[in-house]
């Protein structure tokens, strides 16, 4: 028993050692002095760096304004915002309070530059509508927290390697520091304070959790530049850090919960409308769902539904997990239909129908092209087979090779394509020659489904023999 126990302990020890070597952050780690110099250098915000930030803010604002994802990604790649944020986390990790103050100061200046620049652009831009790229940055959730956290982990790990990779640009894109800052500027320019609050909160989430992930990695690496402070000061710093992290995270959890709840309601509502509003003489042109009010609005055209039919549909809401929801049905007879929305709904449905028809026609065209290509290939193959057989048996005349269709003869079964070979021989062929020709034809046609017809004179009259081989 003790031998088995010791053997298991040894295997466990080896497994732990192998995992430690495989996932060691100390492998390929740059020198502490290099890491320190790299992070401190990224904190600086002077000279060309502020100008690069201003240009990046303009690019990101334009991308948000015209709803161009590619332009926004380009702005994120050239933005220098990551440096001060990682500087804050690095300073906390090594208890370098002057570096923390310097990083926070530069981050504040960079944030102010971003807000002023983006607000200036959106105040003079002729495009004032909030596009989807703007709207998506106004409601941060717990998933944004996770993206910032894991993105920050990737960024600091990549920054501490000897060989620099493309991690930092990827982190800049994933965490998306620039778009929420520019969206906050849009909120300032348009005096839309809900936009400003939501976007700036998302920016704050990214900053806090990138810095927090930096602190964690620095704590694992134990750099030589780490300073030793009074235990009480160290405990106070840790408590403050985790308090900031917790305060930043909690609202996003609440927003994520509401988002999931709203999405679940919207999904159930769409399924309900799709399932219940199936009528031959009435057609759904528009569905509006308001999760906050638990309201479903359906617009119909065609033969109006009676009150009893609508009430029957309402009675089924609870059965589909929509208890407490209300449904409003707009019909042509109600005079409550928005004509513009109705036209848009009809046009949208016609467009979708045309797309479906076009897709079906394209599939049919592709099928016919494939069929034509197959037939052309079979025709060329038949000609080659005939020439090859003629070269092997010069006495054969009128050699023809092709294909035909064998009817299934039974319902539910498909017809099958068979290959046909026919020839006339002035001299009677032996059974072995016929068998050899059949086998050769099967190999050449790459099919077991063949018909071989070799016509040769038996006495005075010609006879015909057909050899059939099944699959």
Q: Which of 180-189, 272-281, 410-419 has the highest mean pLDDT?
A: 180-189
Collapsing DSSP to helix, strand or coil, 458 comes out as coil
Is the pLDDT confidence value at 462 over 50? no
154-168, 200-214, 338-352, 379-393: the lowest-pLDDT one: 338-352
Collapsing DSSP to helix, strand or coil, 300 comes out as strand
Tell me the average pLDDT across 187-196. 87
Which tokens hold the place of 214?
């930096």
| pLDDT the model gives residue 106 | 92
Identify the band that residue 94 occupies on the pLDDT scale cut at 50, 70 and 90. confident
Rounded distance between C-alpha atoms, residue 394 and residue 191, angstroms? 94
Same structural domain, 223 and 269: no
Classify residue 299: in a domain, yes or no: yes
Identify the band that residue 348 occupies on the pLDDT scale cut at 50, 70 and 90. low
Identify the band that residue 169 occupies on the pLDDT scale cut at 50, 70 and 90. low
Same structural domain, 131 and 174: yes
249-253, 296-300, 397-401: the lowest-pLDDT one: 397-401
| pLDDT the model gives residue 248 | 84
Tell me the average pLDDT across 243-257. 83
Decide: residue 150, CB within 10 A, 0-12 exposed, 13-18 middle, 19+ buried.
middle
Is the pLDDT confidence value at 460 over 90? no
Same structural domain, 161 and 298: no
| Contact (CB, 8 A) for 140 and 201 | yes
Which of 180, 209, 228 finishes a domain?
228
Contacts of 68 (CB under 8 A, 6+ apart): 62, 133
Domain hosting 460: range is: 382-469
Strands 397-406, 326-330: pairing kind: unpaired
Q: Which residue has the higher pLDDT, 413 or 143?
A: 143
Cα four-point dihedral sign 183, 188, 190, 196: positive
Query: Quick one: which of 341, 324, 323 has its CA closest to 332?
Result: 341
| pLDDT the model gives residue 464 | 44
Rounded distance between C-alpha atoms, residue 125 and residue 395, angstroms? 87
Same structural domain, 123 and 53: yes
Identify the band that residue 400 occupies on the pLDDT scale cut at 50, 70 and 90. confident
| pLDDT the model gives residue 456 | 66
User: Which CATH number fits the domain that encloses residue 405?
Assistant: 3.30.70
| pLDDT the model gives residue 461 | 44
Same structural domain, 151 and 90: yes
Which tokens hold the place of 138?
């106004």
Is the pLDDT confidence value at 116 over 50? yes
Same structural domain, 398 and 330: no
Classify residue 360: in a domain, yes or no: no
| Contact (CB, 8 A) for 83 and 44 | yes
Q: Which residue has the higher pLDDT, 49 or 259?
A: 49
Classify residue 364: in a domain, yes or no: no
Which of 339, 365, 392 finishes a domain?
339
Collapsing DSSP to helix, strand or coil, 282 comes out as strand
Classify residue 168: in a domain, yes or no: yes
> What is the number of other CB atoms lying within 10 angstroms of the CB of residue 327?
20
Same structural domain, 301 and 165: no
| pLDDT the model gives residue 463 | 43
457 forms beta bridges with 462
Identify the band that residue 120 occupies on the pLDDT scale cut at 50, 70 and 90. very high
Rounded distance between C-alpha atoms, residue 26 and residue 74, angstroms? 32
| pLDDT the model gives residue 75 | 79
418 forms beta bridges with 404
Classify residue 2: in a domain, yes or no: no
Same structural domain, 397 and 292: no
Q: Which residue has the higher pLDDT, 227 or 125?
A: 125
Same structural domain, 450 and 389: yes
Is the pLDDT confidence value at 451 over 60? yes
Tell me the average pLDDT across 48-59. 89
Contacts of 258 (CB under 8 A, 6+ apart): none
Identify the band that residue 239 occupies on the pLDDT scale cut at 50, 70 and 90. confident
328 forms beta bridges with 297
Strands 295-302, 326-330: pairing kind: parallel
Identify the band that residue 349 occupies on the pLDDT scale cut at 50, 70 and 90. low
Classify residue 374: in a domain, yes or no: no
How many domains are contained in the chain?
A: 3
Query: Quick one: which of 302, 310, 304 has its CA closest to 285?
Result: 302
Classify residue 291: in a domain, yes or no: yes
Collapsing DSSP to helix, strand or coil, 248 comes out as helix
Classify residue 422: in a domain, yes or no: yes
Tell me the average pLDDT across 144-157. 83
16-25, 26-35, 196-205, 341-350: the lowest-pLDDT one: 341-350
Rounded distance between C-alpha atoms, residue 399 and residue 422, angstroms? 6
Contacts of 253 (CB under 8 A, 6+ apart): 142
Contacts of 112 (CB under 8 A, 6+ apart): none
| pLDDT the model gives residue 466 | 42
| pLDDT the model gives residue 228 | 65
Tell me the average pLDDT across 305-320. 82
Rounded distance between C-alpha atoms, residue 6 and residue 1, angstroms? 9
Tell me the average pLDDT across 245-261. 82
Contacts of 52 (CB under 8 A, 6+ apart): 78, 79, 80
User: Which CATH number fits the domain that encloses residue 52?
Assistant: 1.20.1080
Tell me the average pLDDT across 300-305. 78
User: Average per-residue pLDDT in the chain?
Assistant: 78
| Contact (CB, 8 A) for 140 and 252 | yes
Same structural domain, 272 and 222: no
Same structural domain, 42 and 176: yes
> What is the number of other CB atoms lying within 10 angstroms of the CB of residue 196?
21
Q: Please write the tens of the pLDDT for every residue from 105-115.
A: 999 999 999 99
Which tokens hold the place of 100?
């923390």
Same structural domain, 273 and 187: no
| pLDDT the model gives residue 107 | 92
Query: Quick one: which of 76, 43, 256 has its CA closest to 175?
Result: 76
| pLDDT the model gives residue 459 | 38
Rounded distance between C-alpha atoms, residue 169 and residue 446, angstroms? 54
Q: What is the 3-state secondary structure (H, E, C) of 17-79?
A: HHHHHHCCCCCCECCHHHHHHHHHHHHCCCCHHHHHHHHHHHHHHHHHHHCCHHHHHHHHHHC
Calculate what percentage of the chain has a pLDDT beyond 70.
82
Instruction: Give the H/E segment covering residue 195.
Output: helix 193-221
Rounded distance between C-alpha atoms, residue 97 and residue 236, angstroms? 13
């Amino acid at each position: 028993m003790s031998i088995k126990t010791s053997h298991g302990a040894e295997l466990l020890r080896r497994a732990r050692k192998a995992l430690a070597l495989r996932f060691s952050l100390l492998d390929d780690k740059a020198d502490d002095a290099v890491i320190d110099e790299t992070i401190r250098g990224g904190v600086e915000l002077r000279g060309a760096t502020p100008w690069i930030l201003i240009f990046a803010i303009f690019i990101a604002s334009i991308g948000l304004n015209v709803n161009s994802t590619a332009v926004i990604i380009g702005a994120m790649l050239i933005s220098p915002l990551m440096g001060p944020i990682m500087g804050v986390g690095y300073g906390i990790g090594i208890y370098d309070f002057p570096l923390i103050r310097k990083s926070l100061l530069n981050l504040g200046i960079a944030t102010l530059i971003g807000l002023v620049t983006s607000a200036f652009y959106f105040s003079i831009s002729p495009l004032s509508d909030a596009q989807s790229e703007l709207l998506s940055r106004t409601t941060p959730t717990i998933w944004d927290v996770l993206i910032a956290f894991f993105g920050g982990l990737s960024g600091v790990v990549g920054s501490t390697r000897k060989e620099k990779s493309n991690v930092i640009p990827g982190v800049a894109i994933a965490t998306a520091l620039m778009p929420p800052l520019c969206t906050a500027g849009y909120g300032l320019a348009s005096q839309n304070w809900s936009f400003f609050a939501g976007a700036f909160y998302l920016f704050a989430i990214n900053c806090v959790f990138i810095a927090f992930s930096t602190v964690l990695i620095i704590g694992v690496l134990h750099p030589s530049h780490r300073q030793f402070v009074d235990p009480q000061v160290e405990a106070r710093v840790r408590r403050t850090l985790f308090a900031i992290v917790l305060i930043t995270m909690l609202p996003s959890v609440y927003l994520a919960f509401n988002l999931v709840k709203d999405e679940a309601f919207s999904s159930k509502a769409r399924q309900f409308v799709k399932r219940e509003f199936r009528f031959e003489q009435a057609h759904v042109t528009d569905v509006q769902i308001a999760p906050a009010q638990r309201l479903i609005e359906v617009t119909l055209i065609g033969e109006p539904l009676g009150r009893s039919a609508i009430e029957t549909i309402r009675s089924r809401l609870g059965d589909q997990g929509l208890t407490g929801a209300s449904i409003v049905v707009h019909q042509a007879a109600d005079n409550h239909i928005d004509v513009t929305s109705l036209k848009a709904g009809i046009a949208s449905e016609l467009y979708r129908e045309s797309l479906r028809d076009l897709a079906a026609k394209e599939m049919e065209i592709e099928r016919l092209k494939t069929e034509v290509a197959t037939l052309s290939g079979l025709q060329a193959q038949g000609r080659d087979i005939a020439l090859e057989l003629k070269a092997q048996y010069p006495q054969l005349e009128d050699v023809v090779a092709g294909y035909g269709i064998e009817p299934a003869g039974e319902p539910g079964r498909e017809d099958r394509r068979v290959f046909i070979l026919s020839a006339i021989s002035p001299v009677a062929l032996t059974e072995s020659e016929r068998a050899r020709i059949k086998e050769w034809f099967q190999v050449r046609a790459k099919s077991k489904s063949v018909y071989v017809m070799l016509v040769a004179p038996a006495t005075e009259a010609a006879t015909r023999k057909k050899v059939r081989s099944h699959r």
